[in-house]
Structure 1
């Protein structure tokens, strides 16, 4: 994981590969989002989804798994996150989709109140294997500086 000084506005990254399975979509929905269109094709048939689709929260969780795997490739200063802004689910995610992530740094801000740390805001887009955006959001990640 990098430190705050390693980020600059305009930096981009592309990473991740997550294969969405039917069993995982159903398991997540049963536990966390048991709406009919997340539980069966029949339940989705009379909705705008048409067929089984993953919960948006499941899409967010799959994205987090890819992000943590990417961060784990380097040592550094991750301190978690302050939140997420502008979360939008743009297109249904379906079993068989393969997801990936593209990210662009849009703000780097040293903390005024806590020396030795700061925040990085990014614009994150999750795409399926047809290069269609399925989710977009702006996380505000916290990082320590090397000067700690």
Structure 2
């Protein structure tokens, strides 16, 4: 288990593999982002996408799926997240793309009021199969600390 104290500012990690399928792009769009360019090639033809493209929110969801798999592979004492900053969709994500993630720990600090909590900020970059960045954001996470944190109530 990796705790707050185990994390070093500047460390990076590369992980994940997510194959984007047409069916999943359509299903997500129908349910959550029913704009024409997310629903059909015809609806996207006259846009800058040129063809069916995944919703940016779907890209976020696929990234979260990869992140959870990474947290299972390398257990971290996560206490959840406080949000994201600077979300940017840099390139369209298309059916047939394969996504992967890279993180960099930008900074960390101990909570001033909760001795079992540390806060981190990590830059997440999502790449397609051509190593082109398609999305970036800063993740604000809460990580359990050792010591006093060992006796803290479960979050």
TM-score over 0.5 for the pair: yes
Structure 1 position 12, deviation (Å):
0.2
Preserved CA contact (<8 Å) 1:123 1:136: yes
Structure 2: how far apart are the matches of 1:87 and 1:2?
Answer: 26
Structure 1 position 116, deviation (Å):
1.3
Which residue number in structure 2 is paired with residue 116 of structure 1? 116
Which residue number in structure 1 is paired with residue 39 of structure 2? 39
Structure 1: how far apart are the matches of 2:75 and 2:32?
Answer: 33
Structure 1 position 30, deviation (Å):
0.2
Structure 2 gaps of 5+ residues are: 150-155
Identify which range, 75-84 or 24-33, moves more after superposition.
Answer: 75-84
| 1:62 counterpart = 2:62 | yes
Structure 2: how far apart are the matches of 1:135 and 1:108?
Answer: 23
Structure 2: how far apart are the matches of 1:74 and 1:99?
Answer: 19
Moved runs in structure 1, 4+ residues, more than 4 A?
none
Select the structure with the greater relative contact order (CA < 8 A; seq sep ≥ 6): 1
Structure 2: how far apart are the matches of 1:81 and 1:2?
Answer: 16
- SS, match of residue 72 in structure 1: helix
Which residue number in structure 2 is paired with residue 77 of structure 1? 77
Structure 2: how far apart are the matches of 1:74 and 1:127?
Answer: 21
Structure 1 gaps of 5+ residues are: none
- TM-score normalised by L of structure 1: 0.97
- TM-score normalised by L of structure 2: 0.93
Where in structure 2 are the equivalents of 1:1-148 lying within 5 Å? Answer: 2-147=2-147, 148=149
